[in-house]
A and B are shown apart, each in its own frame.
Chain A
Amino acid sequence: MNHLLSIEELDRAGIERIITQAQRFEEVSEREIKKVPALRGRMVLNLFYEASTRTRSSFELAAKRLSADVVNFAASGSSVEKGESLKDTVLTLSAHKPDAIVLRTPWAGASELVSRWSSAAIVNAGDGKHEHPTQALLDVYTLQRRLGSIDGSSIWIVGDVAHSRVARSNVLAFQRMGAKVTLAGPPTLIPRGIEQLGCEVRYELGELHTADVVYALRMQNERMRETWVPSLREYATWYQLNGRRLAPSQVLMHPGPVNRGVELSGEVVDSPQAVITAQVEAGVVVRMAVLYELLAAARPRQAPAATAPREHEAARVGEGQLA
């Protein structure tokens, strides 16, 4: 694996490889000194064009636990505000020779584009409404820990599917791991044609009880101004996941941050069926696994520009350093 750009390009074996690696890192998080030297001397650049607290800090923690150097670059307050293009920003930052660039942008396909301009391994940390592959991987990880396996389970993803990169990545990841996925939400927020991803579409929650797992999406306030739904009140009436709609046996997930009282009622957020905190925890080990997979475990990568291949580096950091 040279980059992690999307779940679309991953098969089941690829997902399982990262999950297995994440399980090995789980132990590191339990240590008093939560660090291994696997990526010592490597540089991970966090390049964020959108505000993000948990994804950015999760990547930063993951890189630091692997002993990598981390540089954070936020678009606000930078040359980007002076009109520098994505390409020029990437070329400039690439001069510092980062080994990996973790990229979050509001534009679909931006990670793929950047992978053509830089010889670093690119990790897509969210590209517009397209994909958010590490979120899907940590969700698969969390669910497997809770359920043992998600093969054959029924997973409902509920809410604003149209504006959600999480929904797209998760539909693909859950399906590849053998789950049956149903998307549910207001008709204005379910994009036309999405069922061709192989999932079912529902506009009501009448059959929600058939789900083993219910994944709530964040309902953003700004969608109200754009009149996607008449009001938050009406949205909550029809789609809020609460104690009445959820059975205690159903696993509840949410990518965060939660709007209590909108997509989720307070009591279900705090209930034992919610694995929302476990998702956050899983974020670090799964992102450690992704960075490790790309930078330490990878075969020598083909550099797109006139950059020398890195066989020597790949050989230097072997799996042996992990133990």
Chain B
Amino acid sequence: MSPEGVLSGGLQGPPAELLLRDVHVLDPRAGIDRRLDVLVRQGTIAELAEPGAAAGESDAEVIEGGGRLRVLPAFFDPHVHLRTPGQEHKEDLDSGTRAAAAGGYCGVIAMPNTEPVLDSAPLLRSLRDAAAREARIPVGFLAAITRGLQGEQLTEMAELGQEGALGFTDDGEPVESAGVLRKALQYQRLCGGVLALHEEDRSLSRDGVMHEGALSAALGLDGIPTVAESTMVARDAELAGYEDARVHFQHLSCSASAQAVAAAKARGWRVSAEVAPHHLLLTDEAVRGMNTSMKMHPPLTGEGDRAALVEALRDGTIDCVATDHAPHAREEKEVPFEQAPMGTTGLETAFAALYSGLVMPGALELPVLVRRMTAGAELFGLEAALIARDRPAELVLVDLDERWTAGEHGWQSRSENCCFSGRRLQGRIQLTLAAGRLVHRDRAPALAGAA
């Protein structure tokens, strides 16, 4: 991943000087799963040595891992809402990237459904300038596919691409017209970049506020049927296949969508997909108390869908985890369920929630989770973090034994609408290095010998 290229920000602090002594390094891409010393010099991984063998500079901080603390490649989230410009009361470039750093991320991609919508090159330029100044970790941007997310006229995608858009999306809104989407897919041959798709047939989802099922029937809340998503995934996969275009399906929520992606991949179409932690861990049962933090799009689905998504993530049908971090102010969420905006925050809890909820019970292997939490970079043409000599330091130090309660000490995010709030979690990020900088240090570090 190259921050100077298409990502902005993350270069505020000095390059890190750090010796992580006797830590358990796990990096499936690098083929490492063993105890090592990791020496970071001038923000670069200078040495991977046998435990106790590496010698840092005299002024470098030394952290003793005791063979127990883990070092993983830092995560990458291809789907976050940083709410800038226009909705800075929910989140801004600083608070959003602080939240990401606290969650162990070395890079995120921000969605363009801002106010105004990110649909012109001058706006992208100014936003990238702002990110260069304010973002704690590198941020990439997707620009809108259609002007104002109206689903009608294409944006100036080629110019946006030149200005550094990593791709295009109307996230929050589906591209309803197959004809408009087809033109965007064709235009991709000129402008490049990935087309990321929010799949929803509005004629099916209508005014729905939760998953359609027995619970929506009992609560008298309008349901969103899973076919509202899966029929659009199937349609757009076929369009992408026909145009030989590269598309990425955002926040899959049901079994049928995962099957449509598997079928598309089997036909050799260039598709990829992401899934959010809440869809892997929660079901519509969580909506029973009408807690508005449980209201998001797509909605939490049934147990069968949840289990199918875990399996699809495990077998690689779904390529990566993306949080769809969607902050909303307290007063916006403190309303009746039907009135509340869709979305949950997720950056600060993703790893611990998935480790506690999937890895510990044996539903997912830790190396697979690490791969899926880092793969988002590759899907958008960036290099994933790699723990190897001479690579920029993009890594996290994790205590897999530490138990904590989500939100107990507040949040780095400006908003607190987290669906995992109050949950007991295990596994805590101690340090995050992004772009060779130390961007997060846990407030109550369990680090023996920390300077």
Q: Contact mask B200-218 → A, CB, 8 Å, 1/0? A: 0000000000001111111
A109 interface residue (CB < 8 Å to B): yes
Cβ–Cβ < 8 Å partners of B223 in chain A: 191-193
Residues of B within 8 A of A218 (CB): none
B218 CB → nearest A CB, Å: 6
- CB–CB A193/B336 < 8 A: no
A108-B217 CB under 8 A given contacts A87-B335, A113-B336, A193-B212: no
Given contacts A191-B223, A196-B217, A197-B217, contact A107 B338 (CB under 8 A): yes
A108-B290, A193-B213, A196-B214 as given contacts; A165 in contact with B220, CB under 8 Å:
yes
Whether A168 is near chain B, meaning CB under 8 Å from some CB there, is yes
Chain A residues near B213 (CB, 8 Å)?
Answer: 192-193
Smallest Cβ distance from A171 to chain B, in angstroms?
9
Q: Which of B222, B290, B334 contacts A109 (CB 8 A)?
A: B290
Query: Would you give the shortest CB distance from A147 to chain B, in whole angstroms?
Result: 27
Q: How far is the CB of A173 from chain B (nearest CB, A)?
A: 14
Complex formed: what's the CA distance from A60 to B218 in Å?
29
Taking a contact as CB atoms under 8 Å apart, the answer to whether B217 and A86 are in contact is no
Write out the residue numbers on chain A whose beta carbons fall within 8 Å of the beta carbon of B221.
Answer: 108, 128-130
Minimum C-beta distance from B154 to chain A (A): 32
Q: Is A194 an interface residue (CB 8 A)?
A: yes
Contact: B220 with A108, CB < 8 Å?
A: yes
- Pair B217/A194 contact, Cβ less than 8 Å: yes
Question: With an 8 A cutoff between CB atoms, is B105 at the interface?
Answer: no
Question: Contacts A108-B338, A109-B290, A109-B337 known; A131 to B220 CB distance under 8 Å?
Answer: yes
Which chain B residues lie closer than 8 Å to A165 at the CB level?
220
A24 to B411, CA, bound (A): 55
Task: Please name all residues of chain A whose beta carbon is closer than 8 Å to the beta carbon of B216 when the two chains form the complex.
Answer: 191, 193
Is B186 positioned at the interface, with any CB of A under 8 Å from its CB? no
Residues of B within 8 A of A193 (CB): 212-218, 223
Q: Which residues of A contact B214 (CB under 8 A)?
A: 193-194, 196-197
B339 within 8 A of A: yes
| B337–A85 touching, CB < 8 Å | no
Is A108 a contact partner of B334 (Cβ separation < 8 A)?
Answer: no
Indicate the size class of the contact surface on chain A: 20 to 34
Whether A110 sits at the interface, judged by CB under 8 Å, is: yes
Is A112 located at the chain interface by the 8 A CB criterion?
Answer: yes
Please tell me if A240 contacts chain B, counting CB pairs below 8 Å.
no
Please give the distance in Å from A102's CB to the nearest CB on chain B: 17
Q: Which residue of chain B is the closest to A129 with respect to CB atoms?
A: B220
Bound CA span A158–B2, Å: 64
Judged by a CB distance under 8 angstroms, whether A170 is at the interface is no
Residue of A nearest to B302 (CB): A193
Kindly provide the distance from the CB of B214 to the nearest chain A CB, expressed in whole angstroms: 4
Q: Within the complex, what minimum Cβ distance (angstroms) separates A231 from chain B?
A: 21
Contact A192 B338 (CB under 8 A): no
Tell me if A105 counts as interface (CB < 8 A to partner B).
Answer: yes
CB-based nearest B residue for A112? B290
B137-192 CB contacts (< 8 Å) to partner A: none
Q: Check B218 against A196 for contact (C-beta < 8 Å).
A: yes
- Cα A129 to Cα B223 with chains together (Å): 12
Query: In the complex, what residues of B have CB within 8 A of residue A85's CB?
Result: 331, 334-335
Q: How far is the CA of A109 from the CA of B215 in the complex (A)?
A: 13
Complex Cα gap A193–B216 (Å): 8
Whether, in the assembled complex, B219 has its beta carbon less than 8 Å from a beta carbon of chain A, the answer is: yes
Please pick, from B220, B222, B225, the residue contacting A168 in the complex, using a CB distance under 8 A. B220
Chain B contacts for A109, CB-based, 8 A: 219, 290, 336-337
Q: How far is the CB of B404 from chain A (nearest CB, A)?
A: 26
Contact A192 B220 (CB under 8 A): no
The proximity string for B residues 304-348 relative to A, scoring 1 for CB distances below 8 Å and 0 otherwise, is 000000000000000000000000000100111111000000000
Within 8 Å CB of B337, what residues of A? 107-109
**Which of B213, B225, B331, B338 has most chain A Cβ within 10 Å?**
B338
Considering only residues 103-134 of chain A, those with a C-beta below 8 Å from chain B are 105-110, 112-113, 127-131
Residue pair B338, A191 in contact (C-beta under 8 Å): no
Q: How far is the CA of A298 from the CA of B290 in the complex (A)?
A: 27
Q: Which B-chain residue is minimally distant from A163 (CB atoms)?
A: B220
B223 to chain A, nearest CB (A): 7
Report the nearest A residue to B336, measured CB to CB. A107
Most buried by B among A165, A168, A192: A192
A110 contact set on B, CB distance < 8 A: 336
The answer to whether A130 and B215 touch across the interface, beta carbons within 8 angstroms, is: no
Given contacts A87-B335, A107-B336, A107-B337, contact A128 B220 (CB under 8 A): yes
In the complex, what's the smallest C-beta–C-beta distance from B256 to chain A, in angstroms?
A: 15
**Chain A residues numbered 51-88 whose CB sits less than 8 Å from any CB in chain B:** 85-87
In angstroms, Cα B339 to Cα A58, docked, is 28
Q: 1/0 per position for A138-179, CB-CB distance to B under 8 A?
A: 000000000000000000000000000100100000000000
Is the pair A130, B335 in contact by a Cβ cutoff of 8 Å?
Answer: no
| CA–CA, A193 and B212, complex, Å | 8
Docked complex Cα distance between A106 and B212 (Å): 19
Which residues of chain A are within 8 angstroms of B218 by Cβ–Cβ distance?
A: 168, 193-194, 196-197
Known: A85-B331, A194-B214. A107 touches B220 (CB 8 A): no
Contact of B336 among A105, A191, A196, A197 (CB under 8 A): A105
Q: B318 to chain A: closest CB distance in Å?
A: 26
CA of A109 to CA of B210 in the docked complex: distance in angstroms? 14
Q: In the complex, are the beta carbons of B217 and A130 less than 8 A apart?
A: no
CB–CB B220/A86 < 8 A: no
Instruction: Tell me, rounded to whole Å, the shortest Cβ–Cβ distance linking B217 to chain A.
Output: 4
Output the nearest chain A residue to B334 by Cβ-Cβ distance.
Answer: A87
Complex CA–CA separation, A61 to B339 (angstroms): 32
Across the interface, which residues of B come within 8 angstroms of A129, CB to CB? 220-222
Q: Name which residue of chain B comes closest to A167, CB basis.
A: B220
B215 CB contacts on chain A under 8 angstroms = 193
Residues on B with C-beta less than 8 A from A86 are 335-336
Residues in B whose Cβ lies below 8 Å from that of A105: 336
A192 to B215 CA separation, bound complex (whole angstroms): 10
* A191 and B335 contacting across the interface, CB-CB below 8 Å: no
Measured CB to CB, the nearest residue on chain A to B221 is A108
Bound CA span A87–B217, Å: 26
CA distance A100 to B331 in the complex (A): 25
B206 and chain A: residue at smallest CB distance: A226
C-alpha spacing A105/B220, complex, angstroms: 13
Tell me if B220 and A130 are in contact (CB < 8 A).
yes
Residues of B within 8 A of A107 (CB): 336-339
Subset of 16 A-B contacts with CB under 8 Å: A107-B339, A108-B337, A108-B338, A109-B337, A128-B336, A129-B220, A130-B221, A131-B220, A191-B216, A192-B217, A192-B223, A192-B225, A193-B216, A193-B217, A193-B223, A197-B217
**10 smallest A-B Cβ distances: which pairs?**
A107-B336, A129-B220, A193-B214, A196-B214, A109-B290, A130-B220, A191-B217, A194-B217, A193-B217, A110-B336
Beyond the given A109-B290, A112-B290, could you list 13 further A-B residue pairs with CB under 8 A, ordered by the A residue number?
Answer: A86-B336, A87-B331, A108-B220, A108-B337, A109-B219, A113-B335, A130-B219, A130-B220, A130-B221, A191-B217, A193-B216, A193-B218, A193-B223
